[in-house]
Chain A
Amino acid sequence: MSMLALLVPLFPLLAGVISFFFRRLPGAFHATISVVLLIPSVVFAIVLFLYVHAHPGVVLRQVIPWLVLPSFSIHVGIQVNALTALMLVIVTFVSILVFMFSYGYLRTDERLSIYYSYLNLFVFSMLALVLSPNLLQLYLFWEMVGLCSYLLVGYWFAKPEAARAARKSFVVTRIGDAGLFAGILLLGFAAGTFNDADYSILARHGTLALPWLSEPYLVTLATLLIFIGAVGKSAQLPLHVWLPDAMEGPTPVSALIHAATMVAAGVYLVAREFPLFAESHVTMTVVAYVGAVTALFASLIAITQQDIKRVIAYSTVSQLGYMMLALGIGAYADGVFHLFTHAFFKALLFLAAGSVIHALGGTQDLALMGGLRRKMPITFYTFLAGALALSGIFPFAGFWSKDAILGAAMAKGDWVLYLLGLIAAFCTAFYIFRVVFLTFAGAPRDEDLHAHAHEGGWVMTVPLVILGLFATFAGFINTPWNDDFLSRFLTATKTPKPIPASYSHWPLTSMAISLAVGLCGIGLAAWMYGGGKGFRKVPSAFKPWYALSRNKFYVDEVYSWTVVRGGKLLAALVDLVDRYLIEGLTRLVGLFFYGIGNVLRYTQTGQIQTYGTFALVGLVVFLVVAVFRVGGVF
């Protein structure tokens, strides 16, 4: 079984290597080989999932020593538990559909082989990250995932915005990575191992400590540092700024980044270290509040964005906030469940948006869309399914997972978090249906573009339909009717999760409230944008608020004035020191020897007799010294 798990990431790696080395072959070859080689990965992932399901609580682990020191050893290998098995299924399944869709989207691109090799490397890194048996190996692939996202966001690097966005995504996530690495080192030194399965056990026994840092503080500090890494990767406040800019990459890449390979890594990390996080009350509170505030904040921004991809990007930030919120309040299974459903409907929304963008010749501006419902029925209905799932409407996937989170917050009695989540849910329903109405309803706002719009052929519609089905039905994997199958799977218990007494009468109430809020959001969107009204003039009373949301709460500007300018100032200072102090010193040394050389140059006459004389003088000096030494003078 563990060999099977090892094979899962190797297939995309193989496909990536093939695509990389056989660049001359046509694009269809690269697309085909990528999809075909990923099929066994999908199958193996499902087999592993079923195996773990059949053996609750099993952990498949296979490691070999990599570096053995007298007091310390580092292992590499693979490890599969319930969470890993679920992640493998999500990642491989979404990836294969994205691979397929990509060919339709980028058919005419000349660098398709490079594109597919990056894409395969991306999927390989993510799978290997998920399978890592310890934090050090995880960190390695964590960085590789970051690298691949850099390469793919900057795939159209000739466009300055794309190059800038790629750099931004790399630098901003690097800030988080520094925190993560510090956390890993701290835990490694305290526990004497990087094997993170041991950490929570050590913490529970109170032995996870350093001489200068006692146990509770160490756990809190380490988990907060790890959480910084997750904040960077999963685009939580305040490091969320890179994700919307990452929209400069090709749209299928956005689907992959947002659903399966990049941002899911942060949530996965927190879920993986959940037992350790649960040991620190402070960290859990921080995680919950960061998640809840991010969920609301990003959904408020999404309301006014005019770029279809940006709306969905902020939606991702917001939904990731929900996952963090769930993990922060201890609803581990619900957070992972939302990760699962979100992967499907967010990939769907991005691919459907990609289909629209493709049909309209590359425009992403909502102002130029409209009236596409009849032209692109498949895209419309699948996008609608995704939008309903995102809004949390019964019985779509998002309903079950989002409601589970809100219900858990309610059951915990944390009303602040619950309200933050609820308002965010309202905004979510509003902004996504604003996109639906502006894109598909009413009359076209740009006749030329509309006239040429068409569906993108079966390579694009088939993934849409499959994801549409999953966005509709995936939620049923974890409902009261099947005793919360996924929760039981993740927590390895045979009985359904124990419902606290105060919670027993909540689910229906919470479900009804969520549903009503979602419908209200849709209703407001329909009232404002329905029937092809298009964009409306903003009433003057709302102007400042509109501007605030439209400009993303000026976070980028604030960063530009503080962090970026500060960094540039510091760089300028360092540059001055380097240019005049360091370089001045080195120049001085150089100048000194240059001067010596200049003087000695005159002794080099090229005359053999001069050299002979020098040798003679030297010999005489040596002899004199030797004679005097023998004579005992000195």
Chain B
Amino acid sequence: MIHMPVASLLALAAVLFCIGLYGALTKRNLIMVLVSIEMMLSAVNINLVTFSRLGAAPNLTGQVFALFSITVAAAEIAVGFALVLAFFRLRKSTEVKDADSQKK
């Protein structure tokens, strides 16, 4: 079994998270924002699996937790797309800047 250093796995997760965060905060398209959020979730899952295997007290809890996380993420993306769809029907747009009803 190849031994990966913990640091590189965590660095990968951190990079992935930052890319997701950057996307979520800057992308103009709502779908792209959702995709970015999924990337952040994946980064978290990588962290969970890493620590379940290479943490101070390795056990299966982290991996089970990651499975749950993936399931919930699937449900979340379904809801997210439903919201985007509803928004599109309302505004005829998928632009983030059009979702500004908080200001009004």
User: Which A residues have a C-beta under 8 Å from some C-beta of B?
Assistant: 604-609, 612-613, 616
Which of B25, B96, B97 contacts A613 (CB under 8 A)? Answer: B25
Q: Does B43 belong to the interface (CB within 8 Å)? A: no
Q: Does B71 belong to the interface (CB within 8 Å)? A: no
Q: Tell me, in angstroms, the Cα distance from A613 to B24 when the chains sit together.
A: 10
Which of B25, B101, B103, B104 contacts A609 (CB under 8 A)? Answer: B25
CB <8 Å contact, B100 and A606? yes
- Tell me the minimal C-beta distance from B21 to chain A in angstroms: 7
User: Which B residues have a C-beta under 8 Å from some C-beta of A?
Assistant: 21, 24-26, 33, 96-97, 99-104
CB <8 Å contact, A608 and B103? no
Query: CB-CB < 8 A to B104: which residues of A?
Result: 606
CB <8 Å contact, B26 and A609? yes
CB <8 Å contact, A604 and B103? yes
CB <8 Å contact, A608 and B99? yes
Query: CB-CB < 8 A to A608: which residues of B?
Result: 96, 99, 102
Query: CB-CB < 8 A to A612: which residues of B?
Result: 24-25
CB <8 Å contact, A606 and B102? yes
Residue of B whose beta carbon sits closest to that of A604: B103
Residue of A whose beta carbon sits closest to that of B21: A616
Residue of B whose beta carbon sits closest to that of A608: B99
- Tell me the minimal C-beta distance from B91 to chain A in angstroms: 14
Which 9 residue pairs are nearest across A and B when measured between Cβ atoms? A606-B103, A606-B100, A606-B102, A609-B25, A612-B25, A613-B25, A607-B100, A609-B96, A605-B103
CB <8 Å contact, B100 and A605? yes
- Tell me the minimal C-beta distance from A620 to chain B in angstroms: 11
Known: A605-B100, A616-B21, A616-B25. 14 other contacts (CB 8 A): A604-B103, A605-B103, A606-B101, A606-B103, A606-B104, A607-B97, A607-B99, A608-B96, A608-B99, A609-B24, A609-B26, A609-B96, A612-B24, A613-B25
- Tell me the minimal C-beta distance from B43 to chain A in angstroms: 15
- Tell me the minimal C-beta distance from A401 to chain B in angstroms: 84
Q: Tell me, in angstroms, the Cα distance from A608 to B27 when the chains sit together.
A: 12
Query: CB-CB < 8 A to B96: which residues of A?
Result: 607-609
Q: Tell me, in angstroms, the Cα distance from A609 to B96 when the chains sit together.
A: 8
Q: Tell me, in angstroms, the Cα distance from A607 to B30 when the chains sit together.
A: 12
- Which of B25, B33, B100, B103 has the most A CB atoms < 10 Å from its CB? B25
- Tell me the minimal C-beta distance from B26 to chain A in angstroms: 7
Query: CB-CB < 8 A to B25: which residues of A?
Result: 609, 612-613, 616
Q: Tell me, in angstroms, the Cα distance from A612 to B37 when the chains sit together.
A: 12
Q: Tell me, in angstroms, the Cα distance from A616 to B96 when the chains sit together.
A: 18
Query: CB-CB < 8 A to A606: which residues of B?
Result: 100-104
Q: Tell me, in angstroms, the Cα distance from A608 to B33 when the chains sit together.
A: 11
Query: CB-CB < 8 A to A609: which residues of B?
Result: 24-26, 33, 96
Query: CB-CB < 8 A to B100: which residues of A?
Result: 605-607
- Tell me the minimal C-beta distance from B18 to chain A in angstroms: 11
Q: Tell me, in angstroms, the Cα distance from A604 to B101 when the chains sit together.
A: 11
Query: CB-CB < 8 A to A616: which residues of B?
Result: 21, 25
Query: CB-CB < 8 A to B103: which residues of A?
Result: 604-607
Query: CB-CB < 8 A to B21: which residues of A?
Result: 616
Query: CB-CB < 8 A to A605: which residues of B?
Result: 100, 103
Residue of A whose beta carbon sits closest to that of B22: A616
Residue of A whose beta carbon sits closest to that of B101: A606
Query: CB-CB < 8 A to A613: which residues of B?
Result: 25
Residue of B whose beta carbon sits closest to that of A606: B103
Residue of A whose beta carbon sits closest to that of B103: A606
Residue of B whose beta carbon sits closest to that of A607: B100
- Tell me the minimal C-beta distance from B70 to chain A in angstroms: 24
- Tell me the minimal C-beta distance from A511 to chain B in angstroms: 95
Query: CB-CB < 8 A to B102: which residues of A?
Result: 606, 608
Query: CB-CB < 8 A to A607: which residues of B?
Result: 96-97, 99-100, 103
Interchain residue pairs with CB less than 8 A apart (16) = A604-B103, A605-B100, A605-B103, A606-B102, A607-B96, A607-B97, A607-B99, A607-B103, A608-B96, A608-B99, A609-B25, A609-B26, A609-B96, A612-B24, A612-B25, A616-B25
